[in-house]
Amino acid sequence: MTDIEKQLEAFLNEFEREGYETGAGLKDEADFTSIYERHAGLFSHETAAAARGAVPEENGCGTLVAFLTVNIIDNALKEAMDELITAELKATIQVNGKEVPLRQAQILISNEPDPAARRALDAARLAAQRKLNPQYADLQRRSHLMSLDMGYVSYTDFFQKLEGLDLSVLKAHTQKLLDETAGVYEELLNRYRSALLPGVSAADLEQCDMAFMRRASHFDDLFPAKQLVSSAWKTLAAMGVDAADNPNIRLDIERRENKSPRAFCSPVRVPHEVYLVIMPHGGADDYNSFLHELGHTLHFAYADPALPVAHRFLGDNSVTEAHAMTIEYLSYCGPWLEWALGKSESREYLEFMDFFELYMLRRYSAKLHYELALHGGEYGLGECAGIYADTLTRATSVQYSPDDYLRDVDPHFYCARYLRAWMLRRQIVSALEQKFGGAWFTDPGAGRMLHELWSLGQKENAEAVSARAGFHELNMDAIIAHYRQANARQESKEN
């Protein structure tokens, strides 16, 4: 291992540990700034150039240089970023005469059954957001300027060249998804709006209504808290994966006051120290997010320890997201709910989740199209608020507010990683079902296939993993076909 790789690994270990300790409620305040300061030498053009000469290609030199270069921007913006996070933590909204932290607004909105009260909460949230937008805009402007200073024509150009990812190809795949699922989506959206959002007309449908719809608390009985961890271990054992006894997997299940209520995974030392942090409270959402984070945990904890640091920690995150989504998929899978939890009455839940995933796919497709406009250099920031609301509203038939045009942006085109992960997950699941049948999660052959993919870390990108799963292209075709079939089944049932 070269010196640069050793330094990078030390930085990543400290960075992930800080994320683990603050998220798990073991520390009161996050201090990422001093970690960047301790490793200041890493994030400079000189180090990136030196890495290009020193790190062999088989150690993932391109990936490593891309990471260092992207972090030159993040490092320059770290104080402004910390200020924004602090401002967001301190921001409050008024709810029934009481002051409530802005960060709780989304939770309140998801749990508010009355449409008028939900809209009042969202209006208060957006008013607080408008006050933060100048800080968001400043960060965006500075990162755009820095990419121009490095000689790229736009931030999009900077990202594509460094990461070796052609976003216009992904844009075409997502446009196909938007076009070919428009009919089935509108039909499903209407059905669920009438059933779950009484008093909200099609023309009045807003993003806050979808947050409430997604909460779907009436399905929570399907997912008891006490079976959350045991059902996962039972599944992995059936597949011949010894996760319960793997010392690399550190399950943090203790209750702590400041622990994040949402499950997360911290790959502190890959593969030897990977934390899976949860506070089980039961319900569909808890299972979805726990299984998702478990997928990340398995991917990191079973990575081949002999891989270079770039292939254990960095690379195409579409791959780790696809592994996370594959395990998460268990909670959208009727045979698994029956086998693992003994629930046979899950059809209504499964159909709903299937619809909601289509909403999310369309939302993320629109996010990609919008972010290409935001980062493409063609439009001023002032124009982007309107483009955001138009693009998202057109794709989802749900009204989006222009005030969210900078908050609802994933750093470094992470929306593209999710979209690629969705395509890859569908292919991995299809391959598992084809080889091992509908109950693939009980077959040691499926365990071996997944273990082999996990062991690669992120040495290979999503296209290469797709080829390993037996596909000739990473695209939306299997997803589109799935919704067409579901629609045809529905129509034949109605006739």
Q: How far is the CB of 295 from Zn ion (least distance, A)?
A: 8
Do the beta carbons of residue 197 and residue 114 sit within 8 Å?
no
Q: How far is the CB of 71 from Zn ion (least distance, A)?
A: 20
- By CB under 5 A, which span of 44-52, 161-169, 320-328, 343-351 interacts with Zn ion? 320-328
User: Applying CB under 5 A, which of residues 165, 178, 324, 374 lies at the interface with Zn ion?
Assistant: 324
Chain positions 266 to 285 lying near Zn ion, rule: CB under 5 A, are none
Give the residue closest to Zn ion by C-beta.
Answer: 324
Q: How far is the CB of 317 from Zn ion (least distance, A)?
A: 8
Q: Which is nearer to Zn ion, 60 or 267 (by Cβ)?
A: 267
- By CB under 5 A, which span of 223-231, 324-332, 374-382, 442-450 interacts with Zn ion? 324-332
Q: How far is the CB of 12 from Zn ion (least distance, A)?
A: 17
Q: Which is nearer to Zn ion, 122 or 321 (by Cβ)?
A: 321
Q: Which is nearer to Zn ion, 324 or 450 (by Cβ)?
A: 324
The tokens describing 125, both together, are: 């949230």
Chain positions 150 to 189 lying near Zn ion, rule: CB under 5 A, are none
Q: Which is nearer to Zn ion, 351 or 410 (by Cβ)?
A: 410
Cα dihedral 65, 67, 73, 77 sign: negative
Q: How far is the CB of 11 from Zn ion (least distance, A)?
A: 21
- By CB under 5 A, which span of 304-312, 316-324, 469-477, 481-489 interacts with Zn ion? 316-324
Q: How far is the CB of 323 from Zn ion (least distance, A)?
A: 9
How long a stretch of residues is the chain? 495
Count of residues interacting with Zn ion (CB under 5 A) = 2
Residue 299 CB partners (closer than 8 Å, separation 6+):
319, 320, 323, 324, 454, 457
- By CB under 5 A, which span of 3-11, 182-190, 251-259, 315-323 interacts with Zn ion? 315-323
Chain positions 96 to 155 lying near Zn ion, rule: CB under 5 A, are none
Q: How far is the CB of 324 from Zn ion (least distance, A)?
A: 4
Chain positions 438 to 467 lying near Zn ion, rule: CB under 5 A, are none
Q: List the one residue out of 155, 160, 150 whose CA is nearest residue 44.
A: 150
Residue 83 CA to residue 305 CA, distance in Å, equals: 37
Q: Which is nearer to Zn ion, 296 or 369 (by Cβ)?
A: 296
- By CB under 5 A, which span of 22-30, 98-106, 212-220, 314-322 interacts with Zn ion? 314-322
Q: Which is nearer to Zn ion, 4 or 424 (by Cβ)?
A: 424
Q: Which is nearer to Zn ion, 125 or 420 (by Cβ)?
A: 420
Going residue by residue from 365 to 384, which x/- string records binding to Zn ion, judged by CB under 5 A? --------------------
- By CB under 5 A, which span of 39-47, 62-70, 319-327, 450-458 interacts with Zn ion? 319-327
Q: Which is nearer to Zn ion, 324 or 340 (by Cβ)?
A: 324
Residue where the block lists tokens 């208060």: 124
Q: How far is the CB of 326 from Zn ion (least distance, A)?
A: 11
Q: How far is the CB of 296 from Zn ion (least distance, A)?
A: 6
Q: Which is nearer to Zn ion, 276 or 384 (by Cβ)?
A: 276
- By CB under 5 A, which span of 132-140, 148-156, 176-184, 318-326 interacts with Zn ion? 318-326
Q: How far is the CB of 461 from Zn ion (least distance, A)?
A: 17
SS (H, E, C) the chain: CCHHHHHHHHHHHHHHHHHHHHHCCCCCCCCHHHHHHHCHHHCCHHHHHHHHHHCCHHHCHHHHHHHHHHHHHHHHCHHHHHHHHHHHHHCEEEECCEEEEHHHHHHHHHCCCCHHHHHHHHHHHHHHHHHHHHHHHHHHHHHHHHHHHCCCCCHHHHHHHHHCCCHHHHHHHHHHHHHHCHHHHHHHHHHHHHHHCCCCCHHHCEHHHHHHHHHCHHHHHHCCHHHHHHHHHHHHHHCCCCHHHCCCEEEECCCCCCCCCCCEEEEEECCCEEEEECCCCCCHHHHHHHHHHHHHHHHHHCCCCCCCHHHHHCCCHHHHHHHHHHHHHHHHCHHHHHHHHCCCCCHHHHHHHHHHHHHHHHHHHHHHHHHHHHHCCCCCHHHHHHHHHHHHHHHHCCECCHHHCCCCCCHHHHHHHHHHHHHHHHHHHHHHHHHHCCCHHHCHHHHHHHHHHHHCCCCCCHHHHHHHCCCCCCCCHHHHHHHHHHHHHHHHHHC
Q: How far is the CB of 264 from Zn ion (least distance, A)?
A: 9
Q: Which is nearer to Zn ion, 262 or 451 (by Cβ)?
A: 262
Q: Which is nearer to Zn ion, 163 or 321 (by Cβ)?
A: 321
Chain positions contacting Zn ion, by CB under 5 A? 321, 324
